[in-house]
Amino acid sequence: MKVHPYFGKDVVLTSKHFKKSMIEPSFRELLEIKLIECPADTDILGTFSGEVERTLPPLETALQKARLGLDQLGMDLGIASEGSIGPDPIIPFLNSDIEILVFIDLVNKIEIIEVFRSFDIIAFQKIVSINENLDEFLIKSDFPNHKLIVRSNLDGTLNPIKGIGNKTDLKNAIELMARNSTDRQVSIESDLRAHCSPSRALNIKSAAEILAKRVKAQCKICNSPGWGKVDVEKGLECQSCGANVEKAIKREVFGCYKCDHKEFGDQRSLFADPAICDWCNP
């Protein structure tokens, strides 16, 4: 049996926020990969707390993070992640955490990508005044297990205070930032950096499990790693009226990142649900 090309390799994990414990176990278990953490300044690509705006799409940001670490350490294999937390793109009245993980092989020009979407995320924000009762908010925010950020609400000149994990530091941060705010109020919000948010850390771990399985899977034609879902085939007849429902998913399409080989998965259904038919449910 041919040995997997990444088996036992050292791979760069570009992360400023201590993601190694979240990502390495799956890769070590499946491929005995060891992650070398590179704490490059990924904040230049954007921050959750908003001091630096993310200008690239999430996927390109993750790829750029991976390249930062590879450039700094002069290695060929790299991993990075990028998260987007906020109103879900499909169910906007709920917050979701969408984690993108990428695995880059510079030598073979392979970029393996996986996405994990979860509604299990602690992400809250509240505008408060000094001495306002925060008990309900702190319980909801799972404080101090999940850490907090405090910033001036209006026109402040001070940078946000991050990683707050006890009530004394929280009280001091509120007083300082309130004095710095023109309306004497502050914004308290969940610190969504991976090492400060256990719920996000679990989502990154789940994304890593999916990516590790994808990296391990090899194309039966060219043997390149990364075999998996690349697309979906759409279009089914409505079960009620017989009209073609273009958005109905017929089956998944599996493919290789290196060659053009593709295969179809099993058909999910013979007909489309009338609930998504434009004729039956306009």
Alpha-carbon distances, residue 222 vs 77, 215, 225, 262 (angstroms): 19, 14, 9, 12
pLDDT given for residue 135 in this prediction: 97
Please report whether residue 267 resides in a domain.
yes
pLDDT given for residue 42 in this prediction: 87
pLDDT given for residue 115 in this prediction: 96
Asked if residue 200 and residue 160 are part of one domain, the reply reads no
CB 273 within 8 A of CB 248: yes
Range of the domain at 255: 230-276
pLDDT given for residue 50 in this prediction: 74
Asked if residue 74 and residue 158 are part of one domain, the reply reads no
Q: How far is the C-alpha of 250 from the C-alpha of 270, rounded, in Å?
A: 8
pLDDT given for residue 49 in this prediction: 75
pLDDT given for residue 51 in this prediction: 79
Asked if residue 31 and residue 86 are part of one domain, the reply reads yes
Asked if residue 16 and residue 104 are part of one domain, the reply reads yes
Q: How many CB atoms sit inside 10 A of residue 192's CB?
A: 24
Q: How far is the C-alpha of 207 from the C-alpha of 209, rounded, in Å?
A: 5
pLDDT given for residue 260 in this prediction: 85
Asked if residue 87 and residue 29 are part of one domain, the reply reads yes
Asked if residue 158 and residue 135 are part of one domain, the reply reads yes
Please report whether residue 182 resides in a domain.
yes
Please report whether residue 143 resides in a domain.
yes
Please report whether residue 282 resides in a domain.
no
Mark the ranges of the chain whose per-residue pLDDT is less than 70.
Answer: 1-2
Q: Give the domain CATH number at 96.
A: 3.90.950.10
Asked if residue 161 and residue 246 are part of one domain, the reply reads no
* Residues with Cβ within 8 Å of residue 38, at least 6 apart in sequence: 12, 13, 14, 15, 68, 69, 72, 73
For 231-274, the pLDDT digits (tens) are: 999 999 999 999 999 999 999 999 998 998 999 999 988 999 99
Asked if residue 50 and residue 156 are part of one domain, the reply reads no
Q: How many CB atoms sit inside 10 A of residue 31's CB?
A: 19
Q: Based on the structure, what is the number of domains in the chain? A: 3
Please report whether residue 225 resides in a domain.
no
Asked if residue 22 and residue 108 are part of one domain, the reply reads yes
pLDDT given for residue 44 in this prediction: 85
Of 83, 94, 88, 93, residue with least CA distance to 191? 83
